[in-house]
Every structure is written in structure tokens, then in C-alpha cells.
Amino acid sequence: MIDVADRRDAPAAAEAEAPKVSFRGITKLYASRDGRGRTLALDSFDLDIAPGEIVSIVGPTGCGKSTALNVLAGFEQPSQGRVTVDGAPIEAPGADRGVVFQQPSLFPWLSVFANVVLGAKCRGVARQDYEQQALRLLDEVGLKGFESHFPYQLSGGMQQRVQIARALLNQPDILLMDEPFGALDYQTRLLMQKLLLRLWAHFRPTIVFITHDVGEALFISDRVIAMTKRPGRVKLDVRVHADKPRDYEFLSSSEFKELERELIVAVQSEVEAPEDRLTQNAEEAK
Ligand SMILES: Nc1ncnc2c1ncn2[C@@H]1O[C@H](COP(=O)(O)OP(=O)(O)OP(=O)(O)O)[C@@H](O)[C@H]1O
Ligand SMILES: [Mg+2]
């Protein structure tokens, strides 16, 4: 476990090979939502992610987690700094980065199958080049037999499975997941976490996963990053050593308990910290 103030113990995998993803000195300044001021969402955000790593990000609400993910997705441009994938700067969204959002964001008038293949179709991929893969993916996520159903006929967990199948259809190198299981009940979340580990074992994408649930982060991840409150930067970077795929016994292991406590303290101390940096933002907005 490391505190980023001391990088001597920095995670081995991220240092041993060229990172898949690299955030370097990312600052993101938004015009505030009322248009009258500015919000510094990220400040000096640095993070390297190794190929095939699963990295979860936890942190107080509003600390810039989605902003970091959106910059990597290419939906937002940083105000300063560079985000690279395989050393190349991100300029726009791309099929190499699949995104799964908290809300399923499926088209209600399209069937499950049509939702999954829509992106491929829009990019002009021939049907024979995506059809079998889409059916196989729907099978992998447990939706065989539901191909012709419409989103309203599915539970929340099933709709998230459709989103995941859709994201995986492009065979993305990187899967970006923003609180993908946040709206699901506890039992379904556990099932989805196991499903995600199974899919990872099969496709080996690099995964960046945002959650408020430290236990969820530890269950699925190779590393968990805790962010400071806004403006967000990396506060704590811990490695989870237990072998993947993990089972529920991991939840009662000493490694899980120790890391869980460490991360909860790191995040809560930010949530409960005095408002100094937020006050600075308000000053800046004047
Ligand atoms: N498009 C935008 N325009 C203006 N401000 C924004 C925009 N997107 C985010 N912000 C602001 O940037 C800050 C960080 O927002 P962000 O959504 O990244 O936080 P978050 O860590 O994902 O929060 P949560 O845990 O609640 O999802 C917040 O103060 C938010 O209001
Ligand atoms: Mg968010």
C-alpha cells in the first residue's frame, strides 16, 4: 500500500512496462453550470495504468472521478496536461475505449440485439462481421434468449449486461465504467462484479472502474485509487494481491479488511476535511 506522497513503493506493474494509459498533470477547469464562475475539477491528476490492469477509482462526490474518465474517453479535453493511450495523446472518443455508464442508456425502441450492434452498424461494419460475436457476447453476459426483447422488458441488471455486451462488441482495449452497478441491488451487484471478472479473464481489457463502494473496488481490482476532494488528485494508491477471479471468501480475508479500512479512512478524511480548497475555488470563480 502506498501513499502517493512517497512514490518509492509505487506499484510494480505500472513501472515495469510501458503504461497503457497515462494521465500526466491533468487539470480540468469547467465554466460552472450557471455560467457565472469556474470550477476546478482536477488539479495535477497523475496516474499510470498498466496493460490489462483493473484500476478502480473511489473518492468523495464531486471530486472529479467522472471528469477523469471523460477525459480518457475523449468526451472532455483537459485544460492542462496530457492523457495518453499507448503513448499517443487522446484527441477524441474511439472504438478502442468502450464506455459503460451508471444508467443503461439503451435506445428503448431497439431490441437488445439491435442496441448491442448499433455502434458497429453505424461504423459501416458488415452484418456478418458482428452478428455471431454479438450473439456470443449476449450469451457470455447471460442474455441468451433475450435478443429480441426490448429494454423495458429487462431488469436493471439485465440492462447493464446489455451495455457491457455493447461496449465489448468493439473488442476495446480499454473499458471505462462509471459507477456501472451503482443503481443495482446488492445481490445483483455481486453477480455483476463476478461477471465482470469472468469477462476480464476472457477478453483481458484494461479496465478503469469508478465506484463509491470500496468493497466493490477491492473485489474486482488490481489497484484502487482514492482521490482527494475537489480539485481531485490521487491521494492513495493501493495494490490488491489476491488472485483473480475472486470469490466471496476474499471479502472476509485480512487483506480485504485492511485495505478496506485504509481506503475508507482516506476517503472519509477528505469528505470531512475543512473546506479550504473548495473556498479557493469559490475565490477563483469571482
Ligand atoms: N460539464 C460540466 N460543466 C461544469 N462543471 C462540471 C461539469 N462536469 C462536472 N462539473 C463539475 O466538476 C466537479 C467534478 O465533477 P465530476 O462529475 O467529475 O465528479 P465525480 O467525482 O464524478 O462526482 P460523483 O461521485 O458525484 O459522480 C463537480 O464540481 C461538478 O459540478
Ligand atoms: Mg461521477
30, 34, 228: residue to mutate for ligand 1 pocket, most atoms within 8 A of CB = 30
* CA dist 72 → 20, 34, 105, 178, 193 (Å): 11, 25, 19, 12, 22
Could you report the per-residue pLDDT of 235-281, keeping only the tens digit for each?
A: 999 999 999 889 999 999 999 999 999 999 999 999 998 766 554 45
Q: Which residues have C-beta within 8 Å of that of residue 38, sequence separation ≥ 6?
A: 29, 30, 31, 32, 281, 284, 285
Q: What is the number of the ligand closest to the CA of 278? A: 1
Task: Please name the CATH architecture into which domain 2-96+175-285 falls.
Answer: 3-Layer(aba) Sandwich (3.40)
Any residues with Cβ below 6 Å from ligand 1, and which? 30, 32-33, 39, 41, 59, 61-67, 230
pLDDT in tens, 190-200: 989 999 999 99
pTM for the predicted model, two decimal places: 0.89
Closest CA to 159 of 204, 112, 205: 112
Of 68, 41, 45, which Cα lies nearest the Cα of 176?
Answer: 68
**Of the bound ligands, which one is closest to the alpha carbon of residue 212?**
1
Tell which residue, 100, 45, 37, 94, has the closest CA to residue 67.
45
Residues in the chain: 286
Give start-end residues of each CATH 3.40.50.300 domain in the chain: 2-96+175-285
The side-by-side arrangement of strands in the sheet containing 38-49 is 38-49, 21-31, 80-85, 88-89
Which of 70-84, 93-107, 147-161 shows the lowest mean pLDDT across its residues?
A: 93-107
DSSP state for residue 9 in the 8-state scheme = G
